[in-house]
Amino acid sequence: MMKKALIAGILAWMLGSSSTHAQQTKKSSILSDSIWLDTQGQVINAHGGGLLYQHKTWYWYGEKRGRSQSEGVNVYSSKDLYNWQFEGLALSPSQDTTSDIAEGCLMERPKVIYNKKTKQYVMWVHLELRGRGYAAARAAVAVSSTPAGPFTFLKSFRPNGNMSRDMNLFVDDDGSAYHIYSSDENMDLRLAKLTDDYLSPTTQDSLLFRRQREAPALFKNAGLYYLITSGCTGWAPNQASLHTSSSLFGPWTLVGDPMTGPNANKTFGGQSTYVLPVPGKKNTFIYMGDRWNPKDLKDSRYQWLPIQFKDGQVVIEWVDNWNLQQFNKKG
Ligand code: GAL
């Protein structure tokens, strides 16, 4: 009798675990453009995102989208960059209709950095006020004492009075942080140094170039700054470009399109959002982009590709299915 019960128990356990197994199969590679599920089997909803590495964990912040609407900022965590656990809504739109982030507002391209002095996680997003399309062109700042949040909204503004749409954050080796943003109806790309607490722009804020670029992704390798941007064609893909500079405020030199291979001149159908330096690995960076689906924004796909350096320049090639071991091949 006991034996039968034991066998039945084992069978039930096996059946039970196999039914969830399909959803929770452990992933060990990156497959751009396919549907990415979190560890609960739900589609990952984190667009225009950015990553933060803290306590041996990656946190991925991105736009939570409905079919067209913006529903706040989601956050996921991972130990390996392949398997992502949903941590919740890091920043929620407010029920208060008088708030800058009142439900119906647009929160785009969220990025989070950690401030060692204040021990705060600081989030910046491109904010558009509810019912005003893209006219407000503001940046919003929110803070949390933990990486998964929830973050508390502090304020929104136009940095030094400038329009601010697509944006990113960058922390340099000395701990100084910067906000890079498309301004003047996206004609200009500007950079502002942040205050020591990372909560506000300083007046050290200047034009990098006037070439109608957006989706900036800034990173540094061996003393050189690299900047990937897209053109301005809304959700439709266009040609990426790479600029380099030995100093953040320029002069920036246009290098050309860093993408290579089929569909490279349309950024593989996507648009840049972030470049991730892989911790503990020299010269190792991952390009992150979005392949937007304007008919159903939440179904937009992720494009994560290894960055290669050839003769000191960045080369990004489409790779169907890859993992971090790819970087060990480089000798
Ligand atoms: C893109 C921009 C996106 C979003 C979109 C709206 O150019 O990069 O973040 O704002 O326009 O059309």
CA angle 328, 284, 191 (to 5 degrees): 175
**Looking at ligand 1, which residue's alpha carbon is closest to its atom 5?**
234
Instruction: Give the model confidence (pLDDT) of 214-230 as tens digits.
Output: 999 999 999 999 999 99
pLDDT score of 18: 40
The yes-or-no verdict on residue 21 having pLDDT over 60 is: no
Q: Which residues have CB under 8 Å from 45's CB, separation 6+?
A: 62, 63, 64, 65, 74, 298
The length of the chain in residues reads: 331
pLDDT score of 148: 98
Q: What percent of the chain has pLDDT over 70?
A: 92
- For residues 88, 94, 99 and 101, what is the CA-based torsion angle, rounded to 10 degrees? 40
pLDDT score of 329: 74
Instruction: Give the model confidence (pLDDT) of 167-191 as tens digits.
Output: 999 999 999 999 999 999 999 999 9
pLDDT score of 119: 98
167 CB within 6 A, ligand 1: no
Q: Which of 25-29, 30-34, 79-83, 92-96 has the lowest mean pLDDT?
A: 25-29
DSSP 102: B
Per the model's pLDDT, the better-predicted residue between 284 and 329 turns out to be: 284
Instruction: Give the model confidence (pLDDT) of 68-82 as tens digits.
Output: 999 999 999 999 999
Exposure of 208 in the CB half-sphere (CA atoms within 13 A): 33
Index of the ligand 1 atom closest to the CA of residue 294: 12
Which pLDDT band, with edges at 50, 70 and 90, does 23 fall under? low
261 CB within 6 A, ligand 1: no
Q: Which residues have CB under 8 Å from 19's CB, separation 6+?
A: none
pLDDT score of 24: 65
Q: Would you call 299 helix, strand, or coil by DSSP? A: helix
pLDDT score of 311: 83
Instruction: Give the model confidence (pLDDT) of 238-260 as tens digits.
Output: 999 999 999 999 999 999 999 99
* 142 within 8 A of 100, measured Cβ to Cβ: no
The yes-or-no verdict on residue 48 having pLDDT over 80 is: yes
The whole-number average pLDDT for the span 130-158 is: 98
Strand order in the sheet with 167-171: 167-171, 177-183, 188-194, 201-209
- How far is ligand 1, taken at its centre, from the CA of residue 3, in Å? 62
The whole-number average pLDDT for the span 122-132 is: 98
Omega into 306 within 30° of 0, i.e. cis?
no
**Looking at ligand 1, which residue's alpha carbon is closest to its atom 12?**
234
Could you tell me which of 237, 143, 132, 226 has the C-alpha nearest to residue 180? 226
Q: Which two tokens stand for residue 165?
A: 């749409």
The yes-or-no verdict on residue 150 having pLDDT over 50 is: yes
The whole-number average pLDDT for the span 6-22 is: 44
Residue 85 CA: distances (Å) to CA of 56, 59, 323: 14, 9, 18
- Out of 230, 235, 271, 274, mutate this one to test ligand 1's pocket (max ligand atoms within 8 Å of CB): namely 235
pLDDT score of 9: 44
Strand order in the sheet with 120-128: 106-115, 120-128, 138-144, 152-157
Question: What rounded mean pLDDT belongs to the chain?
Answer: 93
Cα separation, 251 vs 240, whole angstroms: 19
Q: What is the pTM of this model?
A: 0.92
Domains of the chain: 37-321 (2.115.10.20)
Instruction: Give the model confidence (pLDDT) of 265-278 as tens digits.
Output: 999 999 999 999 99
**Looking at ligand 1, which residue's alpha carbon is closest to its atom 11?**
234
pLDDT score of 2: 42
Which pLDDT band, with edges at 50, 70 and 90, does 313 fall under? confident
Token match 């169907």: residue?
A: 320
pLDDT score of 55: 94
CA angle 235, 241, 242 (to 5 degrees): 135
